[in-house]
Amino acid sequence: MNKIVINAEKRTLIGKQVRQLRRQGKLPAVIYGHKIEAQPISLDFREASKILVGLTSSSLIEVQIDGKPHPVIVREKQMDYIRDEFIHVDFQEVSLTELLRTFVVIHLEGEAPAVKDFNAVLVSELTEIEVEAFPQDLPEKFIVDVSGLKEIGDSILVKDIVKPDNLTILTDLEETIVFTAFSTTGAQEAEEELEEMESEEPEVIEKGKTEEEE
């Protein structure tokens, strides 16, 4: 993967004054972390927005401030959901020689046969997993293939994730990531079918002669 670089510059406008930056096409941000005091910075709004939309909490990128590189991960992306645009970003500077604890998002992939064959639904229990690794060894996401979920009740656990040897998973390995369950429609149909079976009168099987026959 190619190195992702975002250019930034130091800023002095803070608080409500950042509105002026946004009107100038700038995105306010802050960088803090490894051997650096919290520093307000600004980014080019268009350039940064194109990059930020594809980043996860474990994506390692480089922020250049006045030409000096800073390896960082994104700690928080604040959004204006009405306008669907970024309004502020928090970057954490990291050391490439020190282990880092963070979360890696989970991406479900494939089609579960239980959904197709039994009208099941996929129930997602976890959307991210806590890990520890050197920043440059962090995956952007874990891809979980659900095509092995063939029956109702089948599940995928944290321990089933295929991970690199240079990464440690901190989340409980027995936790469930995703499982298949009856859909509301499927459960209702099964219940109605059971009630119908129970309401049917049992067939009488004669074992002897009736009084009239005697």
Predicted pLDDT of residue 176: 96
Q: Which fold has domain 100-199?
A: RNA Polymerase Alpha Subunit; Chain A, domain 2 (2.170.120)
**204 φ, ψ (degrees, to nearest 5):** -85, 125
Would you say 25 and 44 are in contact if contact means Cβ atoms under 8 Å apart?
Answer: yes
Global confidence as pTM: 0.77
What pLDDT sits at residue 20?
A: 81
- Whether pLDDT at 60 is above 60: yes
40 is written with which tokens? 């307000």
Where exactly does CATH 2.40.240.10 map onto the chain?
A: 5-93
CATH of region 5-93: 2.40.240.10
Confidence band (pLDDT; 50, 70, 90) for 209?
A: very low
pLDDT given at position 191: 55
Given a cut of 50, whether residue 214 has pLDDT beyond it is no
Residue ranges, comma separated, of all CATH 2.170.120.20 domains in the chain are 100-199
131 pLDDT exceeds 90?
yes
pLDDT in tens, 163-188: 999 999 999 999 999 999 987 655 45
DSSP assignment of 94-152: --TTS-EEEEEEEEEES--HHHHHH-EEEEE--SEEEEEE-GGG--SEEEEE-TT--ST
